[in-house]
Amino acid sequence: MASQPVVLVTGASKGIGFCIARILITRHGAAVVAFSRSRTVELEQLAREFPDTLTVVQGDVTSSQSISAAIKTAVDTYGHLDSMVLNAGTLGSIDRISSSNTSEWKDVFDINFFSLVELIQSALPSLRESKQKGKVIFVSSGAADRGYVGWGPYSASKAAMNSLCRTLANEEKEIISVSVRPGAVDTGMQATVRAEGINRMDPSELEKFNTLHSTGKLVKPEECGQVIAGLAVAAMPEMSGKYVSWDDETLRQFRE
């Protein structure tokens, strides 16, 4: 069991996070601690199928108690923790800066950014001890370097995430930290954008996402999930601190 990678995945009940968890177990032989707010039918079924390599921890990523429980569960159950995929996030309300409420910005940052800081702080002792070189994979967004109308809190929090990744890589030389842009993925977030973006987003920006959906060009969760799962167990040291797109040529090995 010592050679088996142990990975904590946040937001693992659906979408990209669920795909990452499943791929880690079925393709990489990893043990996974799925940390999520909800327990979906799909996640419960996966847990029944792989009772020895999937442990579900239900909790809120903004809760210190839940974070401590998730890290402790990983170590107590599998003996160590080698990697984290920080995937849980929220778009928040689509609203312009001029009419948005700062409390909504704080809520988004609590989920998309401050929870990451606390998760990292809690996991660092275990990640430093990993015999497989500890890894932290951040699930970022192209919005981190764009200014989509109405996406202020989301874009800013993802930009802060990328900065956190760079700083962690610089401070913790023995841990590999990589921030990944998964592309426009066919998940609930895109459905929210299409439903709520009318009259709240710039029409041309909204049309971009509508067209990706109508032409079947949204990224499938399994596609980017395969790359992120691969990074969680085999990211190269030279990638630490970088912000890369899931389909970048340097990540080809994880797509094959």
Q: What Å distances lie between residue 104 and 90, 94, 97, 146, 151, CA to CA?
A: 11, 10, 11, 20, 12
User: Is the Cα dihedral 224, 226, 229, 233 positive or negative?
Assistant: negative
154 given a catalytic annotation: yes
| List 66, 122, 140, 240, catalytic entry | 140
Can you tell me whether residue 216 is helix, strand or coil? coil
106 given a catalytic annotation: no
Q: Which strands make up the sheet holding 135-139, listed edge to edge?
A: 54-58, 31-36, 6-10, 83-86, 135-139, 176-181, 243-245
| List 158, 177, 240, 242, catalytic entry | 158
Can you tell me whether residue 8 is helix, strand or coil? strand
| List 13, 66, 141, 154, catalytic entry | 154
By annotation, the residues acting in catalysis are 140, 154, 158
